[in-house]
Amino acid sequence: MKRNKDFIGLSVFQANSKKIGIVVDILIDFYNSKITGFRMNSTNFFSKKTFVDIKDIITVKDKVIISKISEEKGIPFSELKDMDVIDKEGLMIGVVEDIVVDELDFAIKGVIISSGLFDKILRGKRVLLMDRAILGDKQVLSLEKENIYFKSLPHKMVDSHE
């Protein structure tokens, strides 16, 4: 699984090994739970096309290799980041922090929600599954009764030379 931050900053190359840009945002189709492509800063000053459709991507590892550049489609994740997440009663449960993406088919598995520094320390981050979320104009509605929590726990480091 990958997150938004794993894609940002990757260099984008055409199949002929020419560098054409750097990934600056991902665009998503929230309703179908898929990434539609990547927005990039182009290295070519005169290029107006700065979108790579997910179907035109050959590989994504430490760099992105593509076959062609396309017209932009989808919602930029940067517009969803920090959007309020509310429950069915209208209570705010946090803000959108990141997304969890399946690296094989670019399906969005969930939205990572942060509810503040102290709550993050005590309970960890929440993951809202995509089939339990509705995107509104200004908020994301959570239909979850219980959320899945990530929690960072202290652990003892083991020295490999012992």
* Locus of tokens 């509810």: 115
Q: Tell me what pLDDT residue 117 has.
A: 75
What one-letter code names the amino acid at 27? Answer: L
Give the pLDDT band of residue 85 (cuts 50, 70, 90): very high
* Contact assessment for residue 69 and residue 50, using Cβ atoms and an 8 Å cutoff: yes
Give the pLDDT band of residue 118 (cuts 50, 70, 90): confident
Q: Judge if pTM exceeds 0.85.
A: no
- CATH superfamily of the domain spanning 79-150: PRC-barrel domain (2.30.30.240)
Sign of the four-CA dihedral 94, 114, 29, 53 = positive
The domain spans of the chain are 2-77, 79-150
Give the pLDDT band of residue 90 (cuts 50, 70, 90): confident
| Helix/strand/coil (H/E/C) assignment for every residue in 41-80 | EECCCCCCCCEEEHHHEEEECCEEEECCCECCCCEEHHHH
Element (H, E) at 123: helix 117-123
Q: Tell me what pLDDT residue 24 has.
A: 93
C-alpha gyration radius of the chain: 18
Which CATH code, of 3.30.70.1890, 3.30.1120.10, 2.30.30.240, 3.40.50.20, is assigned to 2-77? 2.30.30.240
Q: Is the pLDDT of residue 160 over 80?
A: no
* 94 contact partners, CB below 8 Å, separation of at least 6: 84, 85, 113, 114, 115, 116, 119, 126
Domains 2-77 and 79-150 share a fold: yes
Q: What is the mean pLDDT of residues 52-79?
A: 91
> What confidence tens digit (pLDDT) does each residue in 22-58 have?
999 999 999 999 999 999 987 766 666 689 999 999 9
